[in-house]
Chain A
Amino acid sequence: MWASFRAELVKLTRRPAAWLLAVVTVVLAATFTYGFPYAGIAGGTDGPYSDRTLPMLLPDRLVGNSLSGLPVFFGALVLILGVLTAGGEYGWGTWKTVFTQGLSRREVYVGKLLALAVAVLAILLAVFASGAACSMLIALVETQPVRWPSVGDLAVGIAAGWLIATMWAMLGAVLAIALRAVALPVGLGLVWMLAVQNLLSGLVAPVLDWVATVQQGLPGPNAGSLVAALGAPTDVPGVAATVGGGQAAVVVAAYLVAFVLIGGALLTRRDVG
């Protein structure tokens, strides 16, 4: 397993697409969480961020702000990373090369997932770090007090964010394994995350009770509820306290385990063509 983990880490860290996704995630997080809201406040204009107030951008809100993108756009980007990590092996036909090196398929799979989880954690930490830098800069410029969240809050926030982001990455991986491709899983995953989830929660759930009930068990609303419970602003798409934070964490973890098991079962049992 560790042999596979080391190999997968080399593959991930040398892969330009993985770095591109990481950079895009960090830049988007900084831009939408701090850049645009601060520009709106500083410009004094009305707009989508006009209800944001300066205190929301300060360091003590670091945890909620850093997690706010996870239900939708941050989640979508790590889903793509998950698809690329597993689906690339189909696109390049490299599963046959890897599976004939002497490790079991299960060892290869677990090593790959661990490497993917580490990559996701690295991106999450980068988002936190860039958020810390942005919020401190704003505080200094606006001569506001620099108060950081407690270590405990920070640890819980990072743990919850890692759980959610890894769950989305595993969804990408399981879609890639199920469809043995890259393009189609990316397309389907993004349609689900960016369109279907929002349509269900925004348009359908308010008028159909059973949809409202069903969506309480879906990964997106639970991810949104978990980050909302940890202080993410609820005006961000996908962030809403649909269920309690505890339940949300359990449901997200259950999805993570389910995706891992389904992907493993498919990968170890199917022929490698």
Chain B
Amino acid sequence: MTLPVETEGLTKRYGALTAVDDLHLTVRAGEVYGFLGPNGAGKTTALRMLLGLVRPSAGTVRLFGRPPGANQLARVGALIEGPAFYPYLSGRENLRVLAHYARVGTDRVELVLDLVNLTDRADDRYAGYSLGMKQRLGVAAALLKDPRLLILDEPTNGLDPVGMADMRTLIRRLGAGGCTVLVSSHLLGEVEQVCDRVGVVSRGRLIAEGSVADLRGSPGLRVLADPLDEAAARVRALVGAERVRVVDGGLDVAVEPERAAWLNAELVGAGLAVRELRSGERDLEQVFFDLIEKGTTDVG
């Protein structure tokens, strides 16, 4: 089966600035893929290249095995860097105009308006929409073609908590229905709830890729013991120095949580006072920041 999205060595340079650098991205059919990175990491530029809006400086893009020409976009829905519509038209008229461009029946317009809960306000002028309503209309436009591949760039921007939850539900429903979804975000917590796999991009480079569990890694152990320096030396001797980090007055030990009892016995046997010993589930945001920091260091 051809891959919905496949890039090889995708690069975009603007003068001295490299916005996207040697990006190898693969999105498999039917999965919800999270494209994660801080603002300015190159996510939107990469997505624009996928859609043929921006010409790569180097590398290739393939959507369903072919370059992103007009025919390839016939079943690709996209919302890139915020919604953009004609302010003097209503939401419904905007979608009807796009239905002409997309050569789909106007019956799809009512369907997608209903999907994003915008039917009641569909006859209001777009210029009068709130940010959240504009965002929902953008998603409706992306769904107009009943896409096989949906590319959503920060789709929850401007949405209130209820709107964000609705958006996650919609993405999950689309994924379950067989639509491949590529969703970008700068919030790890947002994509982990809906994505099968996540790619993390920093300074234009893909620095990590895998399931959220993969990225989170082994939870390890968190140890608080006195005196700290003696405890650190003892644990390093037991499990290896590379597995021990002193963080915030305690030890992060990269070993399986099942070894907690053994480690406790060893420390107590060595005359150390163990105050706390627990599974050190890594905070997702910390994982994200660690990855970004590592990526930045590597790139630098």
A97's contact among B69, B85, B87, by CB below 8 Å, is which? Answer: B85
Nearest-Cβ distance from residue B188 to partner chain A, whole angstroms: 26
Q: Which residues of B contact A102 (CB under 8 A)?
A: 70-71, 73-76, 101-103, 145
A side interface size, CB within 8 A? 27
Q: Which residues of B contact A101 (CB under 8 A)?
A: 73, 98, 101-102, 145
Fill in one digit per residue for B207-224: 1 if any A CB lies within 8 Å of its CB, else 0: 000000000000000000
A96's contact among B84, B87, B100, by CB below 8 Å, is which? Answer: B84
- Across the two chains, which residue of chain A brings its CB closest to B55? A271
B73 engages A100 (CB within 8 Å): yes
- Across the two chains, which residue of chain B brings its CB closest to A91? B87
Fill in one digit per residue for A262-273: 1 if any B CB lies within 8 Å of its CB, else 0: 000000000111
Residues in B245-263 with C-beta less than 8 Å from chain A: none
Residues in A94-109 with C-beta less than 8 Å from chain B: 94, 96-104, 107-108
Fill in one digit per residue for B48-87: 1 if any A CB lies within 8 Å of its CB, else 0: 1001111100000000000001110111101011111111
Q: Which residues of B contact A92 (CB under 8 A)?
A: 84-87
A11 engages B101 (CB within 8 Å): no
Interface presence of B179 (CB below 8 A)? no
Interface presence of A187 (CB below 8 A)? no
Interface presence of B96 (CB below 8 A)? yes
Q: How far is the CA of A273 from the CA of B44 in the complex (A)?
A: 10
Q: Which residues of A contact B83 (CB under 8 A)?
A: 97
Fill in one digit per residue for A7-23: 1 if any B CB lies within 8 Å of its CB, else 0: 10011001110000000
Return the 5 tightest CB-CB contacts between A and B, nearest first: A7-B100, A101-B101, A93-B84, A102-B74, A104-B70
Q: Which residues of B line the A interface, CB within 8 A?
A: 48, 51-55, 69-71, 73-76, 78, 80-89, 93, 96-98, 100-103, 141, 145
Q: Which residues of A line the B interface, CB within 8 A?
A: 3-4, 6-7, 10-11, 14-16, 88, 92-94, 96-104, 107-108, 271-273
